[in-house]
Structure 1
Amino acid sequence: MSNSRIRNKSEKIRKRRRRVRWVVFPILIILISGIAYGASLLNKAESVMNDSYTPIERESARETKVDPLEENFSILFVGVDDSEVRDFNSTSRSDALMVATFNKKAKSVKLLSIPRDSYVYVPTLEKEDKITHAHANGGVKSTIETVEGLLDIPIDYYVKMNFNAFIDVIDTLGGIEVEVPYSFSEKDSKDKHDAVHLEEGLQELDGEEALALARTRYHDNDIERGKRQQQIIKAIMKKAISVKAITKIDDVMEAVGDNMATDISFDDMKAFLNYASAGTNLDIETLTLAGSDDYAGPMYIYSLDEEALEETILELKVHLALAEQSELDNLTSSDEDDVDENNSND
């Protein structure tokens, strides 16, 4: 292994643990936390989950269905590049993918962000392609199959949300304060070009403006785009936990429910109370897949680092109790030995 590759790999591993790159999980946490505020919100939560309940026919990667009240489980969050003007159809590309694994004993969550341009094998296409194309060719089912193949773990549940949820939640919270890095114009959720114009600087953004800031990617790159989305998530979470926002939880849940599909039943959702009850003590670790910019012919792709991917897969398996911690320790120690050996040969 060359010294440059060692340095690159070490840098990639350091960058793996980043903030979540989309709004899906914070919105869900808001919904779950709302359950604790009383019977009326409990009824609202049940109504939201029943309206959003959309199971899909698929083969489970587990021998028996997981019991989230008693076992570790996983959820695939799908942020869809969709809106009313695009007819909310299943052929839309996924704009954001995140896998969350939940460990009951440790009361901990691992959140893995999967870059939309990751070049992986897509079963429905029977070839390697960008992972964002999995949803455009088979919807949620195809996306689940692709992610299970990539990560070699079972996906127990899914949550799919569109742009309207993003917009409605921010508007329901009364907007968010975000630093806009530069002046730009971007299309809105109805795909009208240059409909949103933002000036550089700290300012209050409504849902459409925040969506434009999260989506634009023609003035920098995907890394900077991720940083912008990180800022937006921080702003949403800050606003959501404010005293003023507590009275709006009912409306937030309604905004989410109108634009969400999931195969999590209301009974299964109650399992999240075990995690929400941990409050600020809940251990949430965020991960991303290391990789580099590349091309497959003329098409831009994100080429995943195979060694870092192997480590991430094992880390998720350990968290789901599908592998032993010793296996992960052996893998990471082997990587460190490789680095030390190459350093000694300098």
Structure 2
Amino acid sequence: MSTGNTGLPPRANPGGQRKKTPVKKKKSPMALFFKWLLILVILAILGAAVYVGTLYLKAEDTVLNTGVDKAVPPEQSAEVKPLTMLILGTDYRPQHQTHLTDVVMVVSMNPETNTATLVSLPRDSSLQLQGYRNDRKLNSFYPTFKNLEKKGGSSAEEEMKTMLSKYLDVPIDYVTVLNFQGFRDVVDALGGVDVNVKYNMCHRDSQDGTDINLTAGPQELDGSKALDYVRYRKSMNCEPKTQESNDFDRNARQSEVLHSLIDRMKSFGGAVKSYKVLEAVSDNMKTDLENDQMKNMIKAYYDVNKENVNFVPITGEWRSPFVYINESELQQAKQALKDELEGRHTVEPQAAAENADSVSQP
């Protein structure tokens, strides 16, 4: 029997030294930070993709049903072609069923720059346009066209597009009409709007159900209060009476509310509530946009920032009962719309808005 064979396995370290256990290298806090930052970025991108995708699905069931069921040629898609739209806000609501347009805006959009220019016109304007009566306020044309439509004339929406295309010297591709109830519902769907009420506003009228009572200061308004804020004109049946407001003040407040709505839409909470917004719009909107074009517009402009929206209010001189448009401002507005369509988005100094407070008008 050999004494050299012990029956045990040979030692792994015949030199007698213990093998060191490898130590894991501790990652620096900065490396961990960037790792998690990358994960968050990826999740954000995926989340945005899912959000946009689900928004399409929701749009198919709501807003897209209000459009025209007609194909859009690829070269006419809002994803590649700059477009201009007329936006009308009517005073139609359950307790006040008329179609006066308290809001008249024309917006040009450019998908290449992902920007837009929006021109707002005073509701009491006298257009001074050949072929149209100049003894009628701008806000009365739509209901007049609606009456003619009932008698066999062309659609009121087409007539408004034609008239304002001539007036602003820019082709208007589409028109969208949103009533006051839709405005209320959109604001409520986004959880309200943040505004700074410059002065107290009080107006009560039992005939049409108006009951405006706002106090000065920064605040969050729900849909009904936000509508009161943009509509307020003068004090009535209130003691003490509150300061009157003119068309130019109202246009400035409309811009303020739109800015706030864009902020709400860009927030996470706004994204979650977008479904309710789509439902609110679909129930209270009329448009000649094709269903597919609506989808194209969502693709092209869903991420537009308020800094990329140029608001251009037009003012003028109040000579009762009309506002006579400032010709210089009108020409600047026309040029701003044309520049937008041609890819030259510029933000003009809002001198008109700054001077609005100095204009006196009932």
Q: Normalised by the size of structure 1, how large is the TM-score?
A: 0.68
Count matched residues. Answer: 273
Q: Which whole-Å CA distance do the structure 1 matches of 2:54 and 2:111 have between them? A: 28
Please tell me whether residue 269 in structure 1 is matched to residue 294 in structure 2: yes
Q: CA deviation at 1:231?
A: 3.3
- 8 Å CA contact retained: 1:122, 1:129: no
Matched with 1:47 is 61
In structure 2, C-alpha distance between the alignment counterparts of 1:157 and 1:210, rounded to whole Å: 26
Note the alpha carbon deviations across 1:251-310, whole angstroms, 9 max, x for none.
Answer: 111111111111112211233245326644983322122422224xxxx21112224423
Return the alpha-carbon distance in structure 2 between the equivalents of residues 165 and 256 of structure 1. Answer: 6
Return the index of the structure with the highest Cα Rg.
2
Give the deviation of 1:38 after TM superposition: 4.5
Post-superposition CA distance 1:206-241 (Å, at most 9, x none): 211111121111132323333333333333333333
Q: 1:158 to 1:187 in 2, by over 3 A?
A: farther
Secondary structure (helix, strand or coil) at the match of 1:143 reads helix
Paired with 1:143 and 1:210, the residues of 2 have a C-alpha distance of 26
Identity of aligned residues (%): 27
Q: 1:244 to 1:311 in 2, by over 3 A?
A: closer
Distance 2:284 2:339 in 1: 33
Distance 1:189 1:248 in 2: 34
Q: Is 2:140 the counterpart of 1:133?
A: yes
Partner of 2:269: 244
Matches within 5 A, 1:146-295: 146-187=163-204, 191-193=208-210, 195-218=211-234, 219-222=243-246, 223-273=248-298, 275-276=300-301, 279-280=304-305, 283-295=308-320
2:120 corresponds in structure 1 to 113
What residue number does 1:99 align with? 106
Structure 2 residue ranges without an equivalent (≥5) = 1-47, 70-74, 146-155, 235-242, 345-362
Any idea what the Cα deviations from partners look like across 1:60-92, whole Å, max 9, x if unmatched? xxxxx95434322211111111112234x5xx1
Bigger mean CA offset, 152-161 vs 178-187: 178-187
1:133 deviates by 1.6
Asked whether 1:80 is paired with 2:94, we answer no
CA distance in 2: counterparts of 1:121 and 1:163, whole angstroms: 28
Q: Where in structure 2 are the equivalents of 1:17-32 lying within 5 Å?
A: none
1:304 pairs with 2:318: no
TM-aligned CA distance change 1:121 to 1:66, over 3 Å: farther
Q: Deviations over 1:9-66 (max 9, x none)?
A: xxxxxxxxxxxxxxxxxxxxxxxxx9961543312112223332269xxxxxxxxx95
Q: Are the equivalent residues in 1 in contact too, given 2:90–2:177 (CA < 8 A)?
A: yes
Q: Structure 2: which amino acid aligns with 1:313?
A: K
Q: How does 1:32-71 map to 2 (within 5 A)?
A: 37-53=51-67, 66-71=76-81
Change (3 A) 1:51 1:271: closer
- Equivalent residue for 1:62? none
CA RMSD of aligned residues (A): 3.2
Superposed counterparts of 1:6-21, under 5 Å: none
> Aligned with 1:165: secondary structure?
helix
Q: For structure 1, which runs of at least 5 residues remain unmatched after alignment?
A: 1-33, 56-64, 326-346
**Aligned-partner Cα distance in 1 for 2:194–2:333:** 34
Cα separation, 2, equivalents of 1:228 and 1:116: 14
